[in-house]
Amino acid sequence: MYFEPNEDMTALLSGLEQIALGEGTEWEPSGDWSRQVWSHTLDRTLDENGYYDAGAEESLGAIAAAAMIWRLSRLSVNIEAAASAMLRPALGEDLPRPIAVMTDRRGGAVRFLPMAKAVLRIDDDGVHAALLSDGDVRELPTINAYPMGEIVNDALEWRRLDADAGRIRDLWRIAVAAELAGAMRGGLDAVIAHVKDREQFGRPLGAFQGVQHRLAMASARLEPTYWLTLKAAQELDSADAAIALGYTASISTQIVYDLHQFMGAMGLTLEHPLHRWTYRLRHLRSELGGASTNLQLAADRLWRNA
Amino acid sequence: MDFDWSDDNRRYRARVRHFLEQELPAEWPEIARHGPGSKEQTEFSLDFCPKLAEAGFLVPHWPEALGGANGTAWEHLILGEEMWAVGEPRGGQYMNVNWIGPTLMRYGSEAQKDRYLPPMAAGKAIWCQGFSEPNAGSDLASLRTRAERDGDHYVINGTKIWTSYASLAETCFLLVRTGPLSAGKSAIAILLVPMDTPGIEVRAIPSLVGHGDIHEVFFTDVRVPVSTRLGEEGQAWEIINYSLTNERVGIPRYAMSSRVLGHIVADLKRQDRFNDGVVRMRAGEAAAACEAARLLVYRLVDMRARGQTPGPDASLARVATVAADNAVLDFALDFLPEFTTGNVYPEYLAHHERAIVAGIASGATEIQLNLIAQRHLELPRGPR
Ligand SMILES: Cc1cc2nc3c(=O)[nH]c(=O)nc-3n(C[C@H](O)[C@H](O)[C@H](O)COP(=O)(O)OP(=O)(O)OC[C@H]3O[C@@H](n4cnc5c(N)ncnc54)[C@H](O)[C@@H]3O)c2cc1C
């Protein structure tokens, strides 16, 4: 056991940290009060500096991709990083990005489709990819903090990829778990800053024990998510992947509720960034069947098929 | 004990339902999609509440002399349940009938009653509630908006925030400070302020809820006659305690939650997704949360029907109601997540809007928990 990242991963993450704190990442309400903001600057910087390909490097791999996705998901701005960093290197395909991902049991609406250049489909028939051009996708109105769309071109050319659907689905579980965990962390950080600052009844909200206990509990529940996700990415074990996603999705409900409670009415405005995390979390928590499906899967993998 | 409805109550509910089926227009779900606080719904109420008034369903619980029918507490509840179940077509006017009207009846001057009660009873009055301020949310007693006496006028300066309906309201039920901040609750008064008075500026706050739901309201040297004051200087706390007790009992939101839950289950069945044991367990859990809230609210109504004043029971009921709202929302988000995208599920979106504000608007759940700890559990009082 050794919890420190290797040298290459340390270098990668410290470079990423600089970028994450740099241009195009800070909170700004969007001009038209839309609920989502796409950071072209951040996306371009990561792309140009090869971050999305890091997962293909032997010394980095899925664990580095998971750590990267987690870090980027803590930001209030949106970019499509999970599929690009986790799935593209594993598929060994030079798919154009952004990449949207469709899995079984989702409705017609898929996040990132409106700006995606490629779409992946992971289901019982295997893994398929299609390139997208103008007119293939219709953007849908949504309350989510993701751009959502559906494919309207029935004649899209799906190409079957030479990949193990089970393994790709596990990687996607890990990527989504990392996104959930990162977004919860981002939201929690914002709320912790708020309760230190906002005073009612002559003291900061964070001085009330009722507030402290729930935020402390949120933090204690959240802490393992990072490690569960990285372990799953390192081991590439199906039960680990299901546990990482199942656990992370299962704690998100209470945490999102608490974050909004402690932010008060301010958290319901578009002037404060809290929604940029929570309205991603509301969507992510049901991805790949959500907590119940993944926890059942974990039990199956651990005991039923053993 | 009897947990069944009387025949009279059943008939009453059937009449309200029939009326709603007849009178709610086909586009109602689209209007209601934005939630009861939205501008769309407030505008709609100006068409719809006069019809309710005409049919005797707006203020039946008011005295006959004021346009009511001396209805019972149970009828009032049934009316509220049926309104909430369809998404609250009274919009912000639910406040008028539930608490602003009754408060004016009890504390208002004759002139105030004559001026304000008839339009309320006719379904034509939009009010807003100017309580919260940027620095006075949960700690309402620290509000700073000042009203200085100048002869037979008050001059108001300050800022209110999160004010629902402010852009359409004609009148604001405004809390102001008439004495020093150090005097706390005892130096607060209520003014009934016409929103077209010079010096009032309203700004909509872009938000996750509704369209034009919440606002900031700025008061700059706003002059109103002393006759706009409700009750005495310093009496505000007693008055709003009376009002809010009415408000709390007045919102049977679980009725919306449980109806929405029924629809979610029907959708899941249609899509063959209800066979999963976990899905059914969670549906049962949400149903139980709605039923729990319903019974706690019924207990309050029962107390009122028997002339008792509910104490901390009101806080227990509110916490249960918020839990029910969220249990249904969580169930939908986990198993019918497609409702958040596209326009296929307006009713679910309306519920979503309501559930995310349920634990904050009209007072945070945590404040209710504090009250339960102190008044129900009688725990020693800690820092507040
Ligand atoms: C949709 C909506 C509509 C509204 N409409 C109106 C309106 O029409 N008129 C009006 O006047 N106001 C309105 N409000 C404001 C509402 O009353 C306040 O939001 C509420 O009282 C909480 O105040 P706050 O938002 O400032 O939160 P804060 O007081 O800043 O509190 C934030 C959170 O801290 C926690 N907290 C605070 N104090 C304590 C404590 N002592 N112990 C433990 N935890 C604590 C709670 O979780 C609370 O939610 C509306 C709000 C919303 C969301």
What was the ipTM of the complex prediction?
0.95
With respect to residue A200, please indicate whether it lies within any of the assigned structural domains: yes
Q: Quick one: B263 and B356 in the same domain?
A: yes
Q: Quick one: B106 and B143 in the same domain?
A: no
Q: Number of structural domains, chain A?
A: 1
Is residue B59 within 8 A of residue B121, CB to CB? The reply is: yes
For residues A84 and A228, give the distance between their C-alpha atoms in angstroms, rounded to a whole number. Answer: 21
What the block records as the tokens of A297 is 């899967």
Element (H, E) at B154: strand B153-161
Residue B315 has pLDDT above 70, yes or no: yes
pLDDT of residue B36: 81
Task: Report the CATH number that the domain containing residue B366 is assigned in CATH.
Answer: 1.20.140.10
With respect to residue B241, please indicate whether it lies within any of the assigned structural domains: no
- Of B70, B104, B125, the last residue of a domain is B125
Residue B384 has pLDDT above 90, yes or no: no
Q: Distance from B4 to chain A by nearest Cα, in Å? A: 35
Task: Report the CATH number that the domain containing residue B161 is assigned in CATH.
Answer: 2.40.110.10
Domain assignment of residue A282, given as a range: 165-304
With respect to residue B134, please indicate whether it lies within any of the assigned structural domains: yes
With respect to residue B244, please indicate whether it lies within any of the assigned structural domains: no
pLDDT of residue A82: 98
> Cβ–Cβ of A143/B349 closer than 8 Å?
yes
Sheet holding A159-160, edge to edge: A99-103, A118-123, A126-131, A159-160
Q: Quick one: B119 and B137 in the same domain?
A: no
Residue B367 has pLDDT above 70, yes or no: yes
Q: Percentage of chain B surpassing pLDDT 90?
A: 86
What the block records as the tokens of B40 is 């769309």
With respect to residue B71, please indicate whether it lies within any of the assigned structural domains: yes
Q: Number of structural domains, chain B?
A: 3
Confidence of residue B246 (pLDDT cuts 50, 70, 90): low
pLDDT of residue A9: 95
Residue B214 in contact with partner chain A when CB distance is under 8 A? yes
Confidence of residue A305 (pLDDT cuts 50, 70, 90): low
Residue B181 in contact with partner chain A when CB distance is under 8 A? no
Q: Distance from A261 to chain B by nearest Cα, in Å? A: 7
Q: Which of A248, A112, A233, A94 shows the shortest CA–CA distance to A174?
A: A233
Sheet holding A148-151, edge to edge: A110-111, A148-151, A137-140
Residue B313 has pLDDT above 70, yes or no: yes
With respect to residue B242, please indicate whether it lies within any of the assigned structural domains: no
pLDDT of residue B248: 61
Q: What is the DSSP letter of B96?
A: I
Mean pLDDT of B48-75: 95
Domain assignment of residue B222, given as a range: 128-235
Instruction: Give the CA distances from residue A284 to residues A289, B294, B341, in Å, rounded to whole numbers and listed in that order.
Output: 10, 31, 13
Q: Quick one: B139 and B81 in the same domain?
A: no
Q: Which residues of chain A lie closer than 8 angstroms to B162, CB-CB?
A: 265
Task: Report the CATH number that the domain containing residue A197 is assigned in CATH.
Answer: 1.20.140.10
Higher pLDDT among residues B242 and B17, named by residue? B17
- Of B99, B125, B151, the last residue of a domain is B125
- Of B182, B207, B235, the last residue of a domain is B235
pLDDT of residue A106: 55
Report the separation in Å between the CA atom of A19 and the middle of ligand 1, taken as the mean of its atom positions: 36
Confidence of residue A286 (pLDDT cuts 50, 70, 90): very high
Q: Quick one: B266 and B371 in the same domain?
A: yes
pLDDT of residue A254: 97
Q: pLDDT digit string (tens) for B142-152?
A: 999 999 999 99
- Expressed in angstroms, the distance from the first to the final Cα of chain B is 38
For residues A41 and A60, give the distance between their C-alpha atoms in angstroms, rounded to a whole number. Answer: 24
Element (H, E) at B217: strand B215-225
Question: Phi first, then psi: what are they for B158, rounded to 5°?
Answer: 155, -175
Q: pLDDT digit string (tens) for A141-185?
A: 999 999 999 999 999 999 999 999 999 999 999 999 999 999 999
With respect to residue A39, please indicate whether it lies within any of the assigned structural domains: no
Mean pLDDT of B1-27: 96
Give 3-state DSSP helix, strand, coil % of chain B, rounded to 5. Answer: 55, 15, 30
Q: pLDDT digit string (tens) for A190-249?
A: 999 999 999 999 999 999 999 999 999 999 999 999 999 999 999 999 999 999 999 999
Q: Quick one: B315 and B370 in the same domain?
A: yes
Residue A306 has pLDDT above 80, yes or no: no
Report the separation in Å between the CA atom of B339 and the middle of ligand 1, taken as the mean of its atom positions: 28
Phi/psi class of residue A50: alpha, beta or left (left: φ > 0; alpha: ψ in -120 to 50)? Answer: left
B150 three-state secondary structure:
strand
With respect to residue B246, please indicate whether it lies within any of the assigned structural domains: no
Whether A212 lines ligand 1, by a CB cut-off of 6 Å, is: no
Q: Quick one: B291 and B364 in the same domain?
A: yes
Whether B132 lines ligand 1, by a CB cut-off of 6 Å, is: yes
Whether B141 lines ligand 1, by a CB cut-off of 6 Å, is: no
With respect to residue B245, please indicate whether it lies within any of the assigned structural domains: no
pLDDT of residue A36: 83
Q: pLDDT digit string (tens) for A55-111?
A: 999 999 999 999 999 999 999 999 999 999 999 999 988 899 999 999 976 558 999
For residues B173 and B192, give the distance between their C-alpha atoms in angstroms, rounded to a whole number. Answer: 5
Is residue B311 within 8 A of residue B302, CB to CB? The reply is: no
Confidence of residue B247 (pLDDT cuts 50, 70, 90): low
Compute the mean pLDDT over every residue in chain B, rounded to the nearest whole number: 94
Confidence of residue B243 (pLDDT cuts 50, 70, 90): confident
With respect to residue A284, please indicate whether it lies within any of the assigned structural domains: yes
Which residue type does A205 have? L
B175 three-state secondary structure:
strand
Q: What is the DSSP letter of B69?
A: -
Q: Quick one: B138 and B228 in the same domain?
A: yes
pLDDT of residue A107: 58
- Expressed in angstroms, the distance from the first to the final Cα of chain A is 25
In this structure, the strands spanning A148-151 and A110-111 are antiparallel
Report the separation in Å between the CA atom of B363 and the middle of ligand 1, taken as the mean of its atom positions: 5
Q: Quick one: B274 and B364 in the same domain?
A: yes
The contacts of residue B318 (CB under 8 Å, 6+ apart) are B248, B365, B368
> Cβ–Cβ of A260/B382 closer than 8 Å?
no
Q: Quick one: B68 and B150 in the same domain?
A: no
Q: How many CB atoms lie within 10 A of CB A190?
A: 21
Mean pLDDT of B279-300: 96
Q: What is the pTM of this model?
A: 0.96
With respect to residue A71, please indicate whether it lies within any of the assigned structural domains: no
Q: How many CB atoms lie within 10 A of CB A21?
A: 10
With respect to residue A258, please indicate whether it lies within any of the assigned structural domains: yes
Confidence of residue B362 (pLDDT cuts 50, 70, 90): confident
Confidence of residue B329 (pLDDT cuts 50, 70, 90): very high
3-state secondary structure chain A: CCCCCCHHHHHHHHHHHHHHCCCCCCCCCCCCCCCCCECHHHHHHHHHCCHHHHHHCCCCHHHHHHHHHHHHHCCCCECCCHHHHHHHHHHCCCCCCCEEEEECCCCCCEECHHHCCEEEEEECCEEEEEECCCCCEEEECECCCCCEEEECCCCCCCEECCCCHHHHHHHHHHHHHHHHHHHHHHHHHHHHHHHHHCEECCEEHHHCHHHHHHHHHHHHHHHHHHHHHHHHHHHCCHHHHHHHHHHHHHHHHHHHHHHHHHHHHHHHECCCCHHHHHHHHHHHCCHHHHHHHHHHHHHHHHHHCC
With respect to residue B382, please indicate whether it lies within any of the assigned structural domains: no
Residue B383 has pLDDT above 80, yes or no: no
With respect to residue A207, please indicate whether it lies within any of the assigned structural domains: yes
Q: Quick one: B120 and B12 in the same domain?
A: yes
B55 three-state secondary structure:
coil
With respect to residue A213, please indicate whether it lies within any of the assigned structural domains: yes
What the block records as the tokens of A106 is 């989702």
For the CA of B357, the closest atom of ligand 1 is 53
For residues B185 and B177, give the distance between their C-alpha atoms in angstroms, rounded to a whole number. Answer: 9
Q: Which residue of A has its CA nearest to B345?
A: A142
For residues B336 and B265, give the distance between their C-alpha atoms in angstroms, rounded to a whole number. Answer: 9
Q: Quick one: B271 and B365 in the same domain?
A: yes
With respect to residue A293, please indicate whether it lies within any of the assigned structural domains: yes
Q: Percentage of chain B surpassing pLDDT 70?
A: 98
Cis peptide before B25 (omega within 30 of 0): no
